[in-house]
Amino acid sequence: MHRLRNYILCVLLTIFLFFTAIAVQGAVFAKYSVLDTKTYTDVIEKENISDKVYNTIYDHYETEYNATGVPIETYTSVIDADTTKEMVIGCITDAFSFIKGDSNKLDYKICKEKLVPLKESIDKFFEDYADSINYEKDDAFYKKTASVYEASEEFIMDASDVYKFLTIDSAGYLKYAQKVYSYIDTAVMGSVIATAVLIIILIIANIRKIVGALYWISISAGSSSLLIMGVCIYLKATDYFDRFAIKAPPVFAAMTGLFNKLTDQLIMVNAIIIAVSLVFMIIYIFTGKDKTLKASQAA
Amino acid sequence: MKEKQKDVKRTPAVVLVLTPVLIFLICTALTVVIGIKPYNKLTTYLNIAFSDKMKMKTSASDVLKEMEQEVNEFKKEPEVSVSDTGEVVYPVFGEQYATLKCEAIDLYVPVFWGSDNELLKKGACQMSASTVVGEAGNAVIDAHVNTFFENLEKLAEGDIVVINTSYGEFTYKVKKQVTFVKTDKTYIAPTKEERLTLYTCVKQVLGSSDQRIAVICEPVEKAFYN
């Protein structure tokens, strides 16, 4: 009867441990991966996103030349591949300093600073053009130069914001991310403490044969990891992220690159947890066997 | 001795094997039940963010294959007989009812019925006050100089312009090119004789242009599908 009661208690504790294990993984993953700037900048490097953004900007102004008559050199003389990279990374840095509460507004300060030479370049082009045709610089002239710069700033910043933080912010979700970030340490701490408490109770419940706790821990850790890994493998095997319909190539590469990276990280972590769980199970099986042999020899 | 034996009494192997399986199944079932609402919410957000028919397909390559198939089907020559006379089909506002082709300036553009800013971004637009291609009168088509009609001024007398519609193919020859101020409606007004007028703005870097450039074409061949 005592054994059955103990067994049921261990099963219940293991089920709770399953969920706290998922909570720990979720909280730690969110803190050290999803809400870490490095995760995003690594994808930029790996997928060569800044080059794709530069090509988008270049193609846009090459096409726009027919419409505006503003030659592409006006833009490319001040915005090169390196500047584009700095702007793309600047967008991420700005977005995360907003999420982390370091700034009150998502205003892409770094990006705007990089675009100051562009304003000078556009102004210079229009000044020279107006002089070449003896155009009187009236209000319409200054309005035109200002509108060309504003449109350029908007387009280049939109192209550089490959993770679309501005769109997410306008939908109100960055504020939600801010909230999540402010509670993330509490979540990590809480889930780790809950897991530790459950493990201690499991050890106490198996005090007569402590190695039995390894059996239950391996079941909960292994099961939760198996479930997470199963979902991740499904996402990878079906090319789920590649099916996202994102028309802009840099945004597509950034988004799918990010999701694939996060999935790969989850697969790796959970594979390690499953391996550790198997080791725990093997220890339990062999330690238990040895004990049985010794006990029967003693008898 | 009896107590010692009780101590080391092992759990049956079947229980040891079945317990992890059962716990896994219970936990998975609980996770699914708990996760249904968040999953639906997440799917909705993903659909909003990345919605497109591509998501419904098995992979992007499948969609590309389908598109290729559609293009190949489009390329097949229609097996229909044609005649000089026939009936036109009146389009509705915003409908793409024709394509305009001119090899001389490498132009291939969809033609929409009616004209507004959104349609002008997609292609050339035909004024709904003008005549439907294939009927007697002035069919007036315009597009932005910065997009589809950027090389319109390069069209010279004798160049061929072809318009394909769902009811036939109509070939025109460029007769002349004219420039006029935007308030002058002479060239875009209705006419008795059948003609095609293509027009756009004269390119201006500073401000908008008051000048328009038009290419007047006369019909050379009509092929109504029977």
Is B23 within 8 Å of A15 when comparing Cβ atoms? yes
Tell me the two tokens of residue A276. 């550790």
Residue A25's nearest CA partner among A175, A223, A178 is A223
| C-alpha dihedral sign at A257, A260, A266, A271 | negative
- By C-alpha distance, the chain B residue nearest A207 is B7
| Residue B80 exposure: Cα atoms within 13 Å on the Cβ side | 12
**With bands split at pLDDT 50, 70 and 90, how would you rate the model's confidence at B178?**
very high
A43 in the same domain as A167: yes
The domain tally of chain A equals 2
Q: Does A113 share its domain with A150? A: yes
Same structural domain, A29 and A135: no
Do A26 and A50 fall into the same domain?
no
Q: What is the pLDDT of residue B177?
A: 92
Task: Note whether A123 and A202 are same-domain residues.
Answer: no
User: Which chain A residue has the Cα nearest residue B57?
Assistant: A243
Percent of chain A with pLDDT over 90: 53
Neighbours of A283 (CB within 10 A): 14
Please tell me the predicted confidence (pLDDT) of residue B71: 62
Determine contact, residues A91/A161, Cβ cutoff 8 Å.
yes
| Closest chain A residue by Cα to residue B144 | A67
Give percent of chain B above pLDDT 90: 31
pLDDT bracket for residue A276 (50, 70, 90):
very high
Predicted confidence at residue A293, as pLDDT, reads: 44
A180 in a structural domain: no
Average pLDDT over every residue of B168-182: 91
Q: Give residue-wise pLDDT tens across range A126-148.
A: 888 888 888 878 887 888 888 88
Where in chain B are all domains bearing CATH 2.40.260.10?
A: 82-225
Q: How far apart are CA A55 and CA A228, in angstroms?
A: 38
What's the pLDDT at B57?
42
**Do A245 and B51 count as a contact with CB atoms less than 8 A apart?**
yes
**pLDDT tens track for B96-132:** 889 999 998 888 899 999 988 778 878 899 988 899 9
Domain that holds residue A268: 2-37+185-298
pLDDT score for A188? 95
Backbone Cα Rg of chain A: 29
pLDDT of residue B12: 78
- A179 located within any domain: no
Query: Which pLDDT band holds residue A38 (cuts at 50, 70, 90)?
Result: very high
Q: Residue A198 — very low, low, confident or very high, per pLDDT cuts 50/70/90?
A: very high
pLDDT score at B182? 82
pLDDT above 80: residue B46:
no
pLDDT of amino acid A292: 47
- The pair of three-digit structure tokens given for residue A209, joined into one six-digit string: 């044969």
pLDDT at residue B69 in the model: 65
> Residue B41: its pLDDT value, please?
79
Q: To the nearest whole number, what is the mean pLDDT of chain B?
A: 81
Query: Choosing among A18, A122, A148, which should be mutated to test the B contact, i.e. which has the most B CBs within 10 A?
Result: A18
Q: Does the complex come out with an ipTM higher than 0.90?
A: no
Cβ contacts of A69 on chain B, cutoff 8 Å: 203-205
Selection from A135-144, A250-259, B204-213 with the highest mean pLDDT: A250-259
Task: Determine the pLDDT at residue B42.
Answer: 80
Cα–Cα distance for residue pair B191/A165, rounded to 1 Å = 54
Domain B82-225 falls under CATH 3.50.40.10 = no
Please check whether residues A255 and A201 belong to one and the same domain.
yes
> How far is it, in rounded angstroms, from Cα A186 to Cα B219?
78
Query: Do A6 and A103 share a domain, yes or no?
Result: no
Whether residue A178 lies inside any domain: the answer is: no
Domain boundary at A118, A145, A173, which? A173
Interchain pair B23, A18: CB under 8 A: yes
Q: How confident is the model at residue B49 (pLDDT cuts 50, 70, 90)?
A: low
Of A173, A204, A220, the position where a domain reaches its end is: A173
**Of the candidate ranges A42-46, A251-255, B58-62, the one whose mean pLDDT is the lowest:** B58-62
Highest mean pLDDT among A35-44, A61-70, B29-38: A35-44
The CA radius of gyration of chain B, in Å to the nearest whole number, is 32
The alpha-carbon gap from B199 to the nearest alpha carbon of chain A, in Å, equals 16
Three-state SS for chain B is CHHHHHHCCCCCHHHHHHHHHHHHHHHHHHHHHHHHHHHHHHHHHHHHHHCCHHHHCCCHHHHHHHHHHHHHHHHCCCCCCEECCCCCCCCCCCCEEEEEEEHHHCEEEEEEECCCHHHHHHCEEECCCCCCCCCCCEEEEECCCCCCCCCHHHCCCCCEEEEEECCEEEEEEEEEEEEEECCCCCCCCCCCCCEEEEEEECCCCCCCCCEEEEEEEEEEEEEEEC
Do A50 and A160 have their domain in common? yes
Whether A157 and A83 have beta carbons less than 8 Å apart is answered as no
pLDDT exceeds cutoff 50 at B2: no
A141 interaction partners in chain B (CB closer than 8 Å) = 206
| Residue scoring higher pLDDT (A10 or B13) | A10
Query: Is the per-residue pLDDT at A234 higher than 50?
Result: yes
User: Which of chain A's residues have a Cβ under 8 Å away from the Cβ of B55?
Assistant: 243-245
Q: Residues A188, A181: contact at Cβ < 8 Å?
A: no
pLDDT of residue B59: 46
Q: Are residue A233 and residue A278 in the same domain, yes or no?
A: yes
**Residue B53 has what pLDDT?**
40
Whole-number pLDDT of residue A200 = 94
A244: chain B residues, CB-CB within 8 Å: 46, 50, 54-55
Q: Are residues A149 and A42 in the same domain?
A: yes
Q: Is the pLDDT of residue A108 over 80?
A: yes
**What is the pLDDT averaged over residues A196-224?**
91
Least-confidence region, from A72-86, A229-243, B36-50: B36-50
Contact call for A129 and B20, based on CB within 8 A: no
Assess if residue A189 is contained within a domain: yes
Query: Does one domain contain both A65 and A145?
Result: yes
Partners of B197 in the β-ladder: B140, B216
Q: Nearest chain B Cα to A218, which residue?
A: B20
pLDDT of the residue at A17: 95
Which residues on chain B place their C-beta less than 8 Å from a C-beta of chain A? 1, 4-5, 7-8, 10-11, 15-16, 19-20, 23-24, 26-28, 30-31, 46, 50-55, 57-60, 144-147, 150, 203-207
Q: Which residue of A has its CA nearest to B8?
A: A292
Residues A32 and A49 in one domain: no
Separation between Cα atoms, residue B33 and residue B37, nearest integer Å: 8
B125: Cβ contacts below 8 Å, ≥ 6 apart: B111, B112, B113, B114, B115, B116, B119, B141, B142, B143
Residue with tokens 């059996």: A215
Kindly determine whether residue B23 and residue A243, on different chains, have CB atoms separated by under 8 Å.
no
Indicate the residue of A69, A239, A298 with minimum beta-carbon distance to B205. Answer: A69
Q: What is the largest CA-CA distance in chain A?
A: 113
